[in-house]
């Protein structure tokens, strides 16, 4: 198994046309989903933390951490917002590390019952790995019958550190229809298609397109939200669909406002189902916590013993201090 994982990782160094970092709780990782989500919340500012640990059954699991901060502001009567997005991802036996630092800005416009959001995001990506943790065919010692890391790997063209700028755009439409709220979003990442290669070739990062939507249906104190997400990047595809359901509470102990859960499936279009995703969450005052677990149902489940990934999201949204518009009656005729 270790040989298989190492081989896959070596190929990923030569051909870095891999799928982007992603979360099963994509809806609770707003800036990784769509730059137009920047500042799209009811409050002055928001902090989002995402943690993902994938394939823990393997000797070296894949780990992703994301931290975001967003803040709303106004220029005259126009609503805008800015955000900062920091991601750290580490994977594989060579410790392939990806660090992303991005800034985003969004413009929000309400037209009657329609809400339109336009966002742009730009920043830098830093990638690195350690060749010392990998074993190459040239390091096989015929005398001892074992691999010897002290021998030359003969890989003279490999670079262990790369970095490049990146640019992302997105748009989001939301509409309130009485009690039902609908939304539809579209985003495009890596618009400048930066060069991404560890061996000095002209490999360019493909554009990642994502489209998603959902309907929030309240029924008294309950709500149901069917959701759909589709992502495409070069030959990689990702389709997540399912439903979130919750119960809103009033006057509950310790300020509990909401209990919720969800079930989703992931399909990569090449296999029937890649994973089943179960989620549970709670909102206490301004703080929301959600935990999800992926059960691997793809052919890789043989190696992972059907253990996929677990995710944890923490979102704190401040209260809004912006006065609401109030229409006062006038006595004049």
Kindly provide the residue ranges of all beta strands, DSSP E only, lying in 11-77, ordered along the sequence: 45-54, 62-75
Instruction: Kindly report, residue by residue over 176-187, the tens digit of the pLDDT.
Output: 888 899 999 999
Average pLDDT over residues 207-224: 96
The mean predicted confidence, pLDDT, of the chain is 85
Contact (Cβ atoms closer than 8 angstroms) between residue 39 and residue 71 = yes
Instruction: Report the chain's terminal Cα–Cα distance, integer Å.
Output: 84
Query: Lowest-confidence range among 81-85, 111-115, 212-216?
Result: 111-115
Q: How many other C-beta atoms lie within 10 A of the C-beta of residue 151?
A: 13
Kindly provide the residue ranges of all beta strands, DSSP E only, lying in the chain, ordered along the sequence: 45-54, 62-75, 78-91, 96-111, 114-128, 140-141, 146-147, 161-177, 180-189, 208-219, 222-233, 236-248, 256-267, 275-284, 287-296, 307-317
Nearest Cα neighbor of 276 from 302, 304, 298, 296 is 296
pLDDT confidence band for 252 (50 / 70 / 90): confident
Nearest Cα neighbor of 215 from 170, 246, 248, 176 is 176
Query: Lowest-confidence range among 126-130, 218-222, 236-240, 302-306?
Result: 302-306
Instruction: Kindly report, residue by residue over 14-54, the tens digit of the pLDDT.
Output: 444 455 788 999 999 999 999 999 999 999 999 999 999 98
- Using only C-alpha atoms, the chain has a radius of gyration, in whole angstroms, of 23
pLDDT value of residue 278: 97
Is 307's pLDDT higher than 70? no
Nearest Cα neighbor of 23 from 51, 43, 46 is 51
Query: How far apart, in whole angstroms, are the C-alpha atoms of residue 165 and residue 102?
Result: 10
CA angle 144-147-152, nearest 5°? Answer: 110
Is 333's pLDDT higher than 50? no
Pick the more confident residue, 189 or 62: 189
User: Could you tell me how many residues make up the chain?
Assistant: 333
pLDDT value of residue 234: 86
Question: Would residue 145 be called left, alpha or beta, if left means φ above 0 and alpha means ψ between -120 and 50 degrees?
Answer: left
Nearest Cα neighbor of 36 from 101, 80, 76, 91 is 80
**DSSP SS3 for 99:** strand
Backbone angles phi, psi at 123, to 5 degrees: 175, -160
Query: How far apart, in whole angstroms, are the C-alpha atoms of residue 10 and residue 269?
Result: 25
CATH topology of domain 2-317: Porin (2.40.160)
Torsion of CA 40, 64, 17, 93, to 10 degrees: 180
Instruction: Kindly report, residue by residue over 62-101, the tens digit of the pLDDT.
Output: 899 999 999 999 999 999 999 999 999 998 777 889 999 9
Residue whose tokens read 């005259």: 76
pLDDT confidence band for 301 (50 / 70 / 90): low
Average pLDDT over residues 142-159: 72
Query: How far apart, in whole angstroms, are the C-alpha atoms of residue 5 and residue 59?
Result: 9
pLDDT value of residue 15: 42
pLDDT value of residue 272: 62
pLDDT confidence band for 11 (50 / 70 / 90): very low
Query: How far apart, in whole angstroms, are the C-alpha atoms of residue 53 and residue 147?
Result: 30
The two tokens of residue 192 are 């400048």
pLDDT value of residue 270: 62
């Amino acid at each position: 198994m270790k040989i298989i994982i190492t081989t896959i990782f070596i190929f990923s160094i030569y051909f870095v046309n891999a799928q982007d970092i992603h979360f099963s709780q994509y809806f609770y990782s707003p800036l990784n989903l769509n730059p137009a989500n920047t500042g799209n919340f009811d409050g002055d500012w928001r902090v989002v933390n995402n943690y993902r640990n994938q394939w823990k059954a393997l000797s070296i699991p894949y780990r992703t951490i994301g931290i975001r901060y967003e803040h709303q502001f106004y220029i005259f009567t126009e609503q805008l917002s800015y955000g900062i997005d920091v991601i750290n991802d580490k994977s594989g036996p060579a410790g392939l590390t990806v660090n992303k630092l991005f800034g985003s800005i969004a413009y929000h416009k309400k037209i009657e019952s329609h809400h339109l959001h336009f966002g742009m995001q730009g920043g830098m990506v830093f990638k690195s790995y350690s060749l010392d943790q990998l074993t190459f065919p040239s390091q096989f010692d015929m005398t001892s019958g074992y691999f010897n890391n002290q021998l030359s790997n003969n890989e003279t063209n490999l670079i262990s550190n790369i970095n490049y700028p990146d640019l992302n755009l997105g748009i989001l439409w939301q509409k309130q229809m009485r009690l039902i709220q609908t939304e539809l979003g579209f985003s495009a990442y890596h618009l400048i298609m930066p060069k991404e290669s560890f061996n000095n070739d002209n490999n360019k990062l493909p554009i990642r397109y994502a489209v998603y939507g959902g309907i929030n249906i309240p029924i008294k104190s309950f709500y149901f939200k069917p959701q759909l997400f589709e992502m495409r990047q070069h030959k990689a595809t990702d389709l997540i669909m399912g439903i979130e359901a919750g119960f809103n509470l009033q006057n509950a102990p310790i300020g509990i406002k909401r209990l919720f859960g969800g079930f989703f499936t992931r399909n990569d279009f090449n296999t029937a189902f890649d994973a089943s995703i179960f989620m549970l969450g709670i909102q206490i005052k301004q703080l929301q916590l959600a935990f999800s677990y992926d059960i691997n149902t793809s052919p890789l489940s043989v190696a992972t013993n059907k253990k996929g990934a677990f995710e944890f999201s923490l979102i704190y949204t401040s209260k809004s201090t912006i006065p609401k518009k109030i229409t006062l009656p006038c006595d004049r005729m």
